Structure 1
Amino acid sequence: MYRKKDDLPLLINSLSIGEKRHFHNFFKRDQGLNGEALFLQLYSMQETGKSQIPKSFADSSERALVSAKRLLYANILKSLRSLHDNSSVDITLQNMLVDIELLFGHNLPDQASLILNKAYNLAADFEKFGHLLQILEWEKRLNITLDEVSRPTSEIIEEERKVLGQYTQLKGLEGLYCEVMLLKRKHGYIKGDLKEQLTAQILFSDQLPAENSCLSAKALYYRNSVLSVFYWMAIEPLKAFEHSKKLMLGKDHSILPDDYLLGLLQHITSAICLGLFDETVYGIRAAETYFNDHDLRQSAKLKSLLFVYRSTYEIKAYIFKGQERKLRKAIYWVEKELVLHENILPADHLQIVKGNLMNAHMALGSSKQADRLWNSLMQLSPKIVRKDILSDLYMFRVFDLMQSGSYEDLISASFKAIRFYEKEDHGGTQYVLERAIMVLLRRKVAIGSKVFTITIIQEIKRMIHDFIIANTGSIRFQEHYSRYVIWCDAIIHSEPFYKAAERWYSGFFTRLPRAF
């Protein structure tokens, strides 16, 4: 695989002011009596954005220019290595291994052994199993030339087996974690036959050890990550929260920064599923702080993901608490930031953001903005819309029509919804509540009496409430369906959603401690 034409200018443009200064100082020796080295002239040209080739290359072949570019690229990396030789554990360990090999090559095994001991302790503390295996291999080689061996070779080999077991288990869990994250993006919530299928696939996977069988802190972290995501999908919020809470207690220095950030985001998800809205907002701030402190801005993927989580869960928290002013500010921020992120967000993430904006505008009574977002989502091909989002769009339309009093359109909307639920739910277990609501509307809405309509809405509210209790027990809250309970109240009392939510939350909050 060859480098691309613009790799060199991209590398130069990525350098900070300090890194550029270090590069100039690092290669001062190459500025001899005959002027700058060709690769330095090329660097100056690239840095200033000049397109004209330096005169020094005028009489040189194209091959000389290519060689100068390769040398410049290599020297920039050499300069960065010297500047950042201790900027991460991986770089430090790799440099230590180089030092060990150099000292061993100079027949100085005692000095190499001192560095090896430091490298061993560092790799063990951060659970860098790949580096540990290399260090143990060097320990065996050094023992051949040392007057006093560190320990018997049999002990080193036994530790190699142990580390290899830890490494293998960790890689299996990392693979399972990737698998469950893909399933989350594809399905969202799971119920019925799909839940049974994925329970067998994830919970009974050979790659998922028991808690007391985890061989390292990293393995335990990824086990909790897998289970927290799965139980969120399975709508078992207490179990999801139990595992995501443990992610906050782990040693973050031994976990990849992006995976630790994902753990923080998963805890945010678990918190809101229990109605812990203040902890949700606190978790968002903690994730933003971690993101900035660990300089993760260079990852466009993580930056966009953090935007998705903030725009989704901050809005949800304010919707359920009925905080009108904070909700308006959140909507303004999301819509402003969405302009920057819209073209780079994955399709499912963009759908989530727009779906939550739709709910936010509905909560404030901004029906035109909500309708615009609903239409934009429904116009997408069903093949690219996540099934749980599409299901909610049908429910949203029906409730929107009930609130606006458009009874003549309700029958048609309920028919369309039933067709969707029957088509997508072959086993008849995925959309039980949704279908029951639509069947009820199809039977009774035709009368159109206001009193009778309120009676229907009260019956729908009871159905949703009973479903939530049956699935969550003492928690009495479900992130998706509780919104429709509040919406029923708003319709019954002819008031904005946020007013009904404010009243609902005051009652919910007083019950919250007993749920735990």
Structure 2
Amino acid sequence: MYRKKDDLEHLIQSLTSSEKSYLTKAFKQSKEDSMYVTLYEQLQRAKSLMSLPSCQLSGKVLINKKYVLYETILKHLKQMHSKLSHDVSIQNLLADVEILYNHSLADQAMLLLLKARKIAGTHEKYGLYLQILNWEQKLSIVMDQPMRPIEAIRSEEEEILAKNAQINLLLSFYSQIMLLKKQHGYAKGTIKDELNVQVINHPSFPDRQECKSNKATYYHSLILSIYHWMTFDHELAYQYSKALIQDDNQNILPSDYINGLFQHITSSVCVKKFQDALQGIHVAQAYMEEYKLNQSNAYRQLFFAYSSTYKLVIYGYTGEKEKLKEAIHDAEHQLEIWLDFIPIELRQVISGNIMNAYIAIGDLDKAQVMWNQLFNRQSTQVRKDIYADLYLFRLCFLLQSQTYDLIPSASASAQRFYRNTDENKAQFGLESSIVQLFIKDIDYSSEKVLSPLLHRTTMLLENYILQVRGGTGFQEHYTRYIIWITAIERKIPYYKAARDWYKQHGNA
């Protein structure tokens, strides 16, 4: 790879105000060539080299000056950030160790190496730690009085390798559970069995007390939070996700820490801690900006997915109609921007929640359009739980819109899907029991006929939610159907029924 001609301009444009201030002082103190200083100052003000007002440079001279200025800026930035980044601090110390070693000053090098080892150990920089131990062996060989025997160094090396291996093992389990979550969402029946075999009950999956490092403990908690979310034990999922944001996060990759934040947002919603979830969204946005994750399209997409989805869910449950309208508008606008790039499973999640939000504000026509888009894609292999939910949604939609003549056929179609395979039977037993109530071709327009069926539907939902392990009487996926059935029965808008529900049940 080669540098592009505008790399210098992009580097200067990316500088923070504190970095610019540091560079200005550094240039003056180090008495850099005035030509470099002038070029730097002009590039700060100009949009491009073509607009430089007084630049007399051209050709190879300009190319060389730009190259040297680029290297000089990086040199000063490295000095500035050496106090902020543990990686940079260790690498700089190792560079000094090598220089001193090459000058036959092993004793002096060892002092710096011990400092580097302390930083690497405290912050679990195991890759760098192994380099430090390698240097310690080199220095010990040539020192008259080494700090410790070679055998002790190699023993510690084995410990570090074991810690690193455990982290990599947990990362593989994390990848596996995320794949299953992407494919199935919630796990019931055979999916739960598969989840247990491949992750939680796997012989290599460690207990918490067996975790050898803070990193290992973090990934262990992250995996268990996702597992308990998938298996509906949301109280326990919340306890594990809460630990993710309370623990020291300096040793965790920013990408994995933001995933932990997203998991905590999810768990907070699932236990009705809606303000915690909204606060988590703000924290995640600030964290992405601080650690430059917003320069990644993948993480910008992920943040959009979590932010939009849970604002739609939260305002749907609190019955805040105007905020919900705004959330729908923002979600649709962002979805249009990212449509060709965002993964299909995220599109499904966002679109499904937009559909639910349209029901909440009473726009049945747009909800019908969203349902058609989701159902006709036939994407049953991606987030199968969302596809399956469309059948139950359809039944409630027909009840809401009083399209009673289609209810028996829609229920029969749903029943065929829910009983299509043994896996479906195990996973969608509740849904199957509900649609079974509406398969008969009877007069659903009669209140005497419909009211008992709606009551039995509510009872099925409430009993299921109460029987879920770790249940709190709330289940984000199913409680909305209780609210919807209530709205249908009372003949009021969904958002009003949600507002009433939240006043009674919303305090987590």
Letter aligned with residue 443 of structure 1: K
Deviations 1:376-411 (A, max 9, x none): 222324256421111111211110110111001112
Seen in structure 2, the aligned counterparts of structure 1 residues 377 and 69 have a Cα distance that, compared at 3 Å, is farther
Provide the C-alpha distance between the structure 2 equivalents of 1:389 and 1:101, rounded to a whole number of angstroms. Answer: 57
1:314 matches 2:311: yes
Matched with 2:384 is: 387
Contact between 1:13 and 1:47, CA under 8 Å: does it hold in 2? no
Letter aligned with residue 419 of structure 1: R
Deviations 1:284-313 (A, max 9, x none): 222223223333222222222112111111
Q: For structure 1, which segment, 399-408 or 361-370, has the greater mean C-alpha deviation from structure 2 after superposition?
A: 361-370
How is 1:413-432 mapped onto 2 (pairs within 5 angstroms)?
413-423=410-420, 425-426=422-423, 428-432=425-429
Q: For structure 1, which segment, 490-499 or 348-357, has the greater mean C-alpha deviation from structure 2 after superposition?
A: 348-357
Letter aligned with residue 228 of structure 1: S
State the secondary structure of the residue aligned to 2:340: coil
1:286 to 283, 291, 294: 283
- What's the offset of the Cα at 1:14? 6.6
State the secondary structure of the residue aligned to 2:419: helix
Seen in structure 2, the aligned counterparts of structure 1 residues 55 and 284 have a Cα distance that, compared at 3 Å, is closer
State the secondary structure of the residue aligned to 2:127: helix
Letter aligned with residue 85 of structure 2: S
Matched with 2:15 is: 16
Q: For structure 1, which segment, 215-224 or 239-248, has the greater mean C-alpha deviation from structure 2 after superposition?
A: 239-248
- What's the offset of the Cα at 1:5? 7.5
Matched with 1:476 is: 473
Provide the C-alpha distance between the structure 2 equivalents of 1:197 and 1:17, rounded to a whole number of angstroms. Answer: 48
Deviations 1:209-242 (A, max 9, x none): 1111110111011001011111111122122122
How is 1:243-258 mapped onto 2 (pairs within 5 angstroms)?
243-258=240-255
1:216 matches 2:206: no
Matched with 1:403 is: 400
Matched with 2:226 is: 229
1:149 matches 2:146: yes
TM-score, normalised by the number of residues in structure 2: 0.87
Contact between 1:362 and 1:370, CA under 8 Å: does it hold in 2? yes
Contact between 2:355 and 2:367, CA under 8 Å: does it hold in 1? yes
- What's the offset of the Cα at 1:252? 0.9
Letter aligned with residue 411 of structure 1: P
Structure with larger RCO (C-alpha < 8 A, sep 6+): 2
TM-score, normalised by the number of residues in structure 1: 0.86
Contact between 1:189 and 1:234, CA under 8 Å: does it hold in 2? yes
How is 1:327-346 mapped onto 2 (pairs within 5 angstroms)?
327-346=324-343
Letter aligned with residue 329 of structure 2: Y
Contact between 1:176 and 1:207, CA under 8 Å: does it hold in 2? no
Matched with 1:462 is: 459
Contact between 2:317 and 2:498, CA under 8 Å: does it hold in 1? yes
State the secondary structure of the residue aligned to 2:440: helix
- What's the offset of the Cα at 1:506? 2.6
Matched with 2:174 is: 177
Provide the C-alpha distance between the structure 1 equivalents of 2:106 and 2:467, rounded to a whole number of angstroms. Answer: 68
Letter aligned with residue 116 of structure 1: L
State the secondary structure of the residue aligned to 2:186: coil
How is 1:58-207 mapped onto 2 (pairs within 5 angstroms)?
81=78, 84-207=81-204
State the secondary structure of the residue aligned to 1:202: helix
Contact between 1:231 and 1:239, CA under 8 Å: does it hold in 2? yes
Q: For structure 1, which segment, 484-493 or 110-119, has the greater mean C-alpha deviation from structure 2 after superposition?
A: 110-119
Provide the C-alpha distance between the structure 2 equivalents of 1:187 and 1:6, rounded to a whole number of angstroms. Answer: 47
**Percent identity of paired positions between Structure 1 and Structure 2:** 36
Deviations 1:331-380 (A, max 9, x none): 33333433433333221112211211111111111112222222222232
Contact between 1:421 and 1:435, CA under 8 Å: does it hold in 2? yes
Contact between 2:228 and 2:234, CA under 8 Å: does it hold in 1? yes
Contact between 1:192 and 1:429, CA under 8 Å: does it hold in 2? yes
State the secondary structure of the residue aligned to 1:151: coil
Letter aligned with residue 48 of structure 1: S
Seen in structure 2, the aligned counterparts of structure 1 residues 227 and 50 have a Cα distance that, compared at 3 Å, is same
Letter aligned with residue 16 of structure 1: L
State the secondary structure of the residue aligned to 2:439: helix
1:239 matches 2:231: no
- What's the offset of the Cα at 1:77? 6.0
RMSD of aligned residue pairs (Cα, Å): 3.5
Deviations 1:77-134 (A, max 9, x none): 6676456445522222222211111111111222212211211111111111111111
Matched with 1:497 is: 494
